[in-house]
Amino acid sequence: EVQLVESGGGLVQPGRSLRLSCTTSGFTFADYAMNWVRQAPGRGLEWLSFIRTKAHGAAAQYAASVKGRFTISRDDSRSIAYLQMNSLKTEDTAVYHCVSSRDGYDLYFDSWGQGSLVTVSS
Amino acid sequence: DIVMTQSPDSLAVSLGERATINCKSSQSVLYNSNNKNYLAWYQQKPGQPPKLLIYWASTRESGVPDRFSGSGSGTDFTLTISSLQAEDVALYYCQQYYIAPITFGQGTRLEIK
């Protein structure tokens, strides 16, 4: 069974940093692209970032709203994906979902974690 | 950026009746070299993460009931639930993965009439 479990969320002050982890199991992590998608309270889905497989150069891209502040990475040896979030803003408050893409390149989102709540507030 | 616009924003359908949700992209998501539409549909129930229903515009994900179907090409797409069941009450989102930034529609809320 595919499992994705996010951790590392919580309450943080504006301007501070947080790192989210996505611990996975049940699939060959190295063959999957990984993504982060967030959902602000009562709002829709916002894609933030993806990182492709090493076979595809581990290429990463970001939404404009987080580019330069957030960094995605992956540790294939531990089957974990990360999202380093710096210079956090109040508008970054949301549930952050880790999402897998089994295609490895074409990014439909086949499995989602339950999410980790990040609250940015002073 | 490709803007995805769903219609309607909310929809109430009687049990056993057909439900249709539309999704329009601001530019084509059809990749001519492989003739694939880079369009997916998701279902989100309260307190749960989204669940993949349809990808490549019309390919049903494993385990998804066959009352769910996707159609369309280019810029206009439709998710159809052929016979609405109580458990289908949810938010539905379309998503394009043709080009980054990956974008979602605003969501359509489906309820029972």
- DSSP letter, residue B107: -
For A42, residues 6+ apart whose C-beta sits below 8 A from its C-beta are none
Interface contacts A/B by beta carbons within 8 Å: 52
pLDDT (0 to 100) of residue A104 = 82
Tell me the Cα Rg of chain B. 13
Q: Which of chain B's residues have a Cβ under 8 Å away from the Cβ of A115?
A: 49
Any bridge partners for residue B6, and if so which? B23
**Number of residues written out for chain A:** 122
Q: Which of chain A's residues have a Cβ under 8 Å away from the Cβ of B51?
A: 112
User: What distance in Å separates the CA atoms of residue A74 and residue A32, rounded to the nearest whole number?
Assistant: 11
With CB atoms and an 8 Å threshold, state whether A110 touches B93: no
User: What distance in Å separates the CA atoms of residue A21 and residue A9, rounded to the nearest whole number?
Assistant: 9
With CB atoms and an 8 Å threshold, state whether B107 touches A50: no
pLDDT (0 to 100) of residue A106 = 85
Low-confidence ranges of chain B (pLDDT < 70): none
Shortest CA gap A50–chain B (Å): 9
- The overall average pLDDT reported for chain B is 98
Tens of pLDDT along A14-36?
999 999 999 999 999 999 999 99
